[in-house]
Amino acid sequence: MLIRKIALIYFSLLALLFSANAQNEALAKIDIPDLKEYLTFIASDELQGRELGTEVNGLEITANYLAAYATEIGLKPAVENYFQTVPVLHTTRSKNDFIEVKNKKGKSVYRSEELVKLNQSHGVFSLDKESVLFIGFGENIESLDIEDKLVIVAQGNAESFSGEEAFKWQNRLERAKMNAIIEKQPKAMLMITNPKDTENKIFKQLQGWMNRPGYSLKTDDLTEQPAVLLATPKVADALLGKKGEYIKYLEEVAAGSEAVTEVSETLSLKTGVEPELLEAKNVVAYVEGSDPVLQNEYIVFMAHYDHIGVGKDGDVYNGADDNGSGTVAIMEVAEAFASLKEKPKRSIVFLWVTCEEKGHFGSRYYCDHPVFPLDKTVASINLDMVGRVYDGPRDDVWKDSPKKVKDFDGLYTLANDVWPGLAEINAAHCAELGLVPDSSLPKERFLRASDHYHFHKYGVPILNYATGYHADYHKVGDEVERINFEKIKRVADLCFLVGFDLANKIDIEF
């Protein structure tokens, strides 16, 4: 019996020794010259900032580069050619918008091109000789039947209309109002700006903002929401009969008079253009687990590889830290796992997502259309900006942010509460590497701030690594020359150690 116990201890120690040696050999694959080589290419001017719509398709070039790398180091393609197609809609400014008021005889009494679409309804929206219903400031509409009607609502509320800040656009107030009205399924909602804003400052501001070319993720939800539109008080005056009638109407409503008003005039309008369908790409590769059962569970390492492109002045925003750093760190982590002779028990997925800067399109699409089941994904580890250290007073522009860039040892390690064991494993390996984890970021804000959000939304345990905001965040100064490659290596080492531990841990339950 004693001999058997000794033998068991001996072989257990031998297994640990082999495991430690294997880890050390794999960690040696993560090296600074490779990180520099990869990032120098990905963050080069030639790729024009890795954004949709640039003259040189740097986003596509980067996706091909990552797929070629995955092939070279022996990762398995999770989808054909490693590419998961992400459908993106590109909308340009409409040049044929108009809004027209006709009297009860059908004669045009007002026509203008001053019309803005405020929500994300796609394509062309038009109405012809539609009756309208004024509903004041859109307050106290709970009992109001506005289904399938064109409603006219005033910007602001009765209090702000009478106050000193009458022209200010209060986004939270207006969005809440829009949502409450849209829930009642009107045919459309037309918001009219404040008639005291005689220079139409608010209209022009929103027109400039909303009429920019834009991108959105094409979703499977075919439910079309009612259009939400914005026009000037001249439209309301024409509908109410003459100039100056709209401000009188609002003064009466603000004083307590009935808000709901029908008129005999009708409204015709047209706005919007058909969007162009683009195809962006997530790059998805994996190392298959060695255990016949646990290989059907997954650890996902993720980084977005896009950035913000070229400025109006022609300057290229190369995004070396955001997020070239996370992209190349995962490349090296992938090589480390691929080099293991005996693969971990669980499968390791490497997910480079597209269009984070446009609104997390790539990660949202992956989670809505997962290549590997999310209920079998035991962790998603997202790297977003892991290549900078505090650079003196210039970085103090972020002194009031909870996420100002860390020193050489510091690292933001944001975890959700799905499985506390993930944060514990992370803390242990941070201590092993001399890293100081900071888990103090406000979760309500920062769980939504990057691609990990969509995994969190589906109940997957997440970790987000970041070195923090610096003076060059979203500026042309985010260049390779300012990257601390030793810091990237330390984060990549941490990823490997955490991932290796997770992939071989038997009892993960959440």
Show me where the domains of the chain are located.
28-89+276-504, 98-271
Burial class (CB in 10 A: 0-12, 13-18, 19+), 363: buried
Provide the pLDDT for residue 95.
84
Look up the pTM and report it: 0.86
Provide the pLDDT for residue 14.
44
CATH of domain 28-89+276-504: 3.40.630.10
CATH of domain 98-271: 3.50.30
Beta strand segments in 44-102, E: 76-77, 83-91, 98-102
Consecutive 10-residue runs of the chain (510 residues): their mean pLDDT? 55 52 92 98 98 95 98 98 97 89 94 90 87 94 93 93 75 92 95 93 91 87 83 97 95 94 95 92 98 98 98 96 98 98 97 98 98 98 98 96 98 97 98 98 97 98 98 98 98 98 93
Provide the pLDDT for residue 3.
61
CA distance 231 to 99: 8
CA distance 411 to 491: 8
Provide the pLDDT for residue 222.
62
Provide the pLDDT for residue 165.
61
Provide the pLDDT for residue 445.
96
3-state secondary structure of 189: strand
Provide the pLDDT for residue 19.
65
CA distance 161 to 231: 17
Q: Of 40, 120, 76, 436, which is closest to residue 284 (Cα–Cα)?
A: 76
